[in-house]
Chains A and B, each alone.
Chain A
């Protein structure tokens, strides 16, 4: 992260400004990815007029980084109208899409809008693998064609490669494809539980040994020695530290106007159809409850040697039953990275509980949805 970006984050945190928001404009999608955590029916999406009113409120609240995602954003016929309005309000806009519906006309319009970036999920360079994950024949070919059209027009494209058992061995091919397309490559081994709490899709995730392998591949994580180093001694800064940017400088808005601390933190805090954004942001008891949590307040993690370096996600902890509790998948990640078990793992081993929470659900530092500090770094 650049020093200026870090300074911006610190100032926003101090001033209580929501620097970044992800807004899902629809949960509808033409693909049916095996690991997707969403229900794809339309339960009453906000209209374009409602969304534009929300955008006015976000701009007024100081939001700078705005990510549009879904579902597939282009399932909405009015998406360009929403996008153009957002850019007229001078948001720094990132769009997450399959690029399946991006043809020449769409690529041209996206290029004209001066977006920060377009992020596309590519699961494999092999159609038989990618299309089996999206359950849509021909989807890899169309997504790659869309990326090419965007790149030809100078649009910055990020290829996000979610790692699962089905595609674990294909990341070198996706890295090579990204290079050929002139796109930035990011890897993400995170499988998120379904929004309704169903955790069955976690079984799709990579196992401990595969995770160790990922964490020891310099092409993916940079300096292996630094990345896998034992954690330094926990200090007062760690105990005073905040878990992540969720509710501090970041939040998430659903297609129905619900506001959450993060896309990965389904704690309802208010709804924009009946409340003003700024009122939810400032006064929601749930937002303020999340904000009140510091390292020292975590019953198990405060005594963990990984406290200062763990990427503990409070949203995933919430989905395990306690937002102040451990996020087992992050325990697994810290363990796979350093070989040192977390306090949570040791406690479970001591009382005879079989440790299983981390199976197939891990997250690499820097890819957390709620972390503009990484997401928006130039």
Chain B
């Protein structure tokens, strides 16, 4: 099985509220409120860490959960967010978008 890389899309609005992420899809205006675990995965979705590593190194370290079961749930979660354009998925590492400039263009 090839690794699955996840990256946060820029086509969203997002902010942390009281320790949890609220995210709105710019594509369809669907609003999501991620719980603590979802927020953890969201924060770790840097495009260069595979989902398997995120589950192993972050989720299983912080939660007492079976690794295979956690991976299955995490994969389902990221695929749902990807359907709304909130996360990007690839079997290759995903390059980070260029940072916004403060200089007039």
Q: Does A15 contact B (CB under 8 A)?
A: yes
CB distance from B8 to the nearest CB of A (A): 9
Q: How far is the CA of A378 from the CA of B14 in the complex (A)?
A: 15
Q: Which of A77-85, A316-324, A336-344, A355-363 contacts B (4 or more CB under 8 A)?
A: A77-85
Cβ contacts under 8 Å, A141 to chain B: none
- A34-80 contacts to B, CB under 8 A, are 48-49, 52, 59, 62-64, 77-78, 80
Q: Mark B1-32, 1 if CB is under 8 A from A, else 0.
A: 00000000011111111100010101101110
Q: Is the CB of B33 within 8 A of A116?
A: no
Q: How far is the CA of A314 from the CA of B105 in the complex (A)?
A: 41
Q: How far is the CA of A365 from the CA of B30 in the complex (A)?
A: 24
Q: Is the CB of A81 within 8 A of B17?
A: no
Q: Mark A235-248, 1 if CB is under 8 A from B, else 0.
A: 00000000000000
Q: Is the CB of B104 within 8 A of A378?
A: no
CB distance from A165 to the nearest CB of B (A): 36
Q: A2-B31, A4-B33 are in contact. Are A64 and B17 (CB under 8 A)?
A: yes
Q: Does A12 contact B (CB under 8 A)?
A: yes
Q: How far is the CA of A84 from the CA of B27 in the complex (A)?
A: 17
Q: Is the CB of A116 within 8 A of B24?
A: yes
Q: How far is the CA of A15 from the CA of B13 in the complex (A)?
A: 20
Q: A64-B15, A90-B13, A90-B14 are in contact. Are A81 and B104 (CB under 8 A)?
A: yes
15 A–B contacts, CB within 8 A, in A order: A4-B31, A4-B33, A14-B18, A62-B17, A77-B104, A81-B102, A84-B100, A85-B100, A90-B15, A92-B24, A114-B11, A114-B26, A114-B27, A115-B26, A156-B29
Cβ contacts under 8 Å, B24 to chain A: 92, 116
Q: Is the CB of A17 within 8 A of B17?
A: yes
Q: Does A93 contact B (CB under 8 A)?
A: yes
Q: Does A88 contact B (CB under 8 A)?
A: yes
Q: Is the CB of A62 within 8 A of B13?
A: no
Q: How far is the CA of A49 from the CA of B22 in the complex (A)?
A: 27
Chain B interfacial positions (CB closer than 8 Å to A): 10-18, 22, 24, 26-27, 29-31, 33, 99-105
Q: Does A7 contact B (CB under 8 A)?
A: yes
Contact of A64 among B13, B30, B101, B104 (CB under 8 A): B13
Q: How far is the CA of A62 from the CA of B17 in the complex (A)?
A: 7
Chain A residue nearest to B11 in the complex (CB):
A114
Cβ contacts under 8 Å, B102 to chain A: 48-49, 52, 81, 85
Contact of B13 among A7, A17, A91, A156 (CB under 8 A): A91
Q: Is the CB of B29 within 8 A of A116?
A: yes
Q: Is the CB of B31 within 8 A of A5?
A: yes
Q: How far is the CA of A128 from the CA of B16 in the complex (A)?
A: 48
**A4-B33, A62-B17, A92-B24 known, 11 other contacts, Cβ within 8 Å:** A8-B31, A15-B18, A48-B102, A63-B15, A64-B17, A81-B102, A87-B10, A90-B10, A90-B15, A114-B10, A378-B30
Chain A residue nearest to B102 in the complex (CB):
A52
Q: Is the CB of A92 within 8 A of B13?
A: yes
Chain A residue nearest to B12 in the complex (CB):
A90
Contact of A48 among B13, B17, B31, B104 (CB under 8 A): B104
Cβ contacts under 8 Å, A2 to chain B: 31
CB distance from B85 to the nearest CB of A (A): 9
Q: Is the CB of B13 within 8 A of A93?
A: yes
CB distance from B102 to the nearest CB of A (A): 5
Q: Is the CB of B16 within 8 A of A378?
A: no
